[in-house]
Amino acid sequence: MRHLLSAADLDRDQALTILETATQMHDVQHREVKKLPALRGRTVVNLFFEDSTRTRSSFEIAGKWLSADVINISAKGSSVSKGESLRDTVTTVAAMGVDGLVIRHHASGAPAQVADWVDAIVVNAGDGTHEHPTQALLDAYSISRRIGDLAGKHVVIAGDLTHSRVVRSNLLLLKTLGAQVTLVAPPTLMPSGIGAWSEAAGFATTYDFDAVLPDADAVMMLRVQKERMTGGYFPTPREYTVGYGLTRERLKLLPPNAVIAHPGPMNRGLEITADAADEARSLILDQVSAGVAVRMSVLYHLLGGAQ
């Protein structure tokens, strides 16, 4: 694996190797000196064309804890805001001798295109509504640490599927790891063509959230992405919560050992209530912590593991 552009880039052994290494990297967070020499002398540029706090910070911390030189570039205030093209921007940055580019872009497929233009390794940190592979890895890592091997486990993913890049990467990775996946959303937020997709990829879909919760080992709530919506996808926020929110009443349907995940940021009171977000089964803060460990593992395997 030269780049990480999609969760589909990983076979089961590669995914498990990254997750196992993340377990070792996670220990660094508890050390007095949070530093490993693995990427000393390497330069990683976080090139973010979309605003992001947690993902960019997570990659920055991951790179620095591996002793890489990390530079952050955002579209605002850079040559991009002066009209420079994506190709000119990334080839200019790459020509400075960087070893890795971590890219978030509003256009689906942009990181894959960049990988064809530069010699540096490229990590997709989220592209449009396409994919977010490191989010899927940290979700799988967080869930498996609580409930064990994901093979045969039932993971329910509920919410705004149409605008989510997280769901695509999670679906691909969870199937690679042998999990059973059910997607839940109102009809207006089910992606176009999902019937043929679910048949080919082997996952289930339903509009009935209550029906699948009693058999779930994990439920992942997705954010309602209001900023990507151009029309009315549901009548009112209250009606969305009643039909598809993880509420206090729905928590009673979940098995006691089932866990709750959310990739964040959350719309509290819309897709998830405070009762669910803050209860003992919630992995939400675990996912944030795991993000650094998983991204350390990804950078290590792409930039340092072969040395």
In degrees, rounded to 5, the angle at the alpha carbon of residue 25 between the alpha carbons of residues 22 and 30 is 130
pLDDT surpassing 60 at residue 46? yes
**Helix crossing, 12-26 with 284-299: angle to 10°?**
110
Co-location of 34 and 146 in the same domain: no
What is the chain's mean pLDDT, rounded? 93
- The kind and range of the H/E element at 56 are helix 54-65
Which of 300, 306, 237 lies closest to 18, judged by CA? 300
Strands 121-127 and 180-184, sheet pairing: unpaired
Q: What local confidence, expressed as pLDDT, does residue 305 receive? A: 58
Co-location of 190 and 102 in the same domain: no
Co-location of 178 and 260 in the same domain: yes
pLDDT surpassing 70 at residue 229? no
Q: What local confidence, expressed as pLDDT, does residue 119 receive? A: 95
Mean pLDDT, rounded, for 187-212: 92
Q: What is the pLDDT of residues 125-135, one digit of tens each?
A: 999 989 999 99
Instruction: Give the tokens for residue 137.
Output: 């890895």
pLDDT surpassing 70 at residue 104? yes
Task: Say how many C-beta atoms besides its own lie within 10 A of residue 112's C-beta.
Answer: 17
CA distance 50 to 111: 13
pLDDT surpassing 80 at residue 213? yes
Q: What local confidence, expressed as pLDDT, does residue 192 receive? A: 86
Q: Looking at the 3D structure of the chain, how many domains does it have?
A: 2
Co-location of 252 and 198 in the same domain: yes
Q: What local confidence, expressed as pLDDT, does residue 174 receive? A: 97
Q: What local confidence, expressed as pLDDT, does residue 102 receive? A: 98
Mean pLDDT, rounded, for 262-282: 93
Q: What local confidence, expressed as pLDDT, does residue 232 receive? A: 74
Which of 235, 234, 300 lies closest to 44, judged by CA? 300
pLDDT surpassing 70 at residue 189? yes
- What predicted TM-score, i.e. pTM, was given to this entire model? 0.93
Q: Point out the annotated binding site for L-aspartate.
A: 82, 165, 223
Q: What local confidence, expressed as pLDDT, does residue 78 receive? A: 72
Q: What local confidence, expressed as pLDDT, does residue 10 receive? A: 97
End-to-end alpha carbon distance in the chain: 14
Co-location of 255 and 300 in the same domain: no
Q: What local confidence, expressed as pLDDT, does residue 168 receive? A: 93
Mean pLDDT, rounded, for 176-200: 93
Q: Point out the annotated binding site for carbamoyl phosphate.
A: 54-55, 104, 132, 135, 264-265
Mean pLDDT, rounded, for 252-280: 94
CA distance 253 to 235: 25
Co-location of 102 and 155 in the same domain: no
CATH number for the domain including 250? 3.40.50.1370
Co-location of 106 and 187 in the same domain: no
Q: Point out the annotated binding site.
A: 54-55, 82, 104, 132, 135, 165, 223, 264-265
Beta strands across the sheet bearing 43-48: 69-74, 43-48, 100-105, 121-127
Which of 227, 274, 288 lies closest to 246, judged by CA? 274
Co-location of 270 and 143 in the same domain: yes
Co-location of 170 and 229 in the same domain: yes
CA distance 96 to 119: 12
Q: What local confidence, expressed as pLDDT, does residue 306 receive? A: 47
pLDDT surpassing 80 at residue 150? yes
Co-location of 141 and 243 in the same domain: yes
Mean pLDDT, rounded, for 244-269: 94
Q: What local confidence, expressed as pLDDT, does residue 121 receive? A: 97
Q: What local confidence, expressed as pLDDT, does residue 187 receive? A: 92
Which of 300, 290, 221 lies closest to 26, judged by CA? 290
For residue 236, which amino acid is it? T
Co-location of 128 and 193 in the same domain: no
pLDDT band at 205 (very low <50, low <70, confident <90, very high): very high
Q: 24-38, 150-164, 171-185, 225-239: which has the minimum mean pLDDT? A: 225-239
Tell me the residue range of the domain where 243 lies: 135-284
Co-location of 20 and 148 in the same domain: no
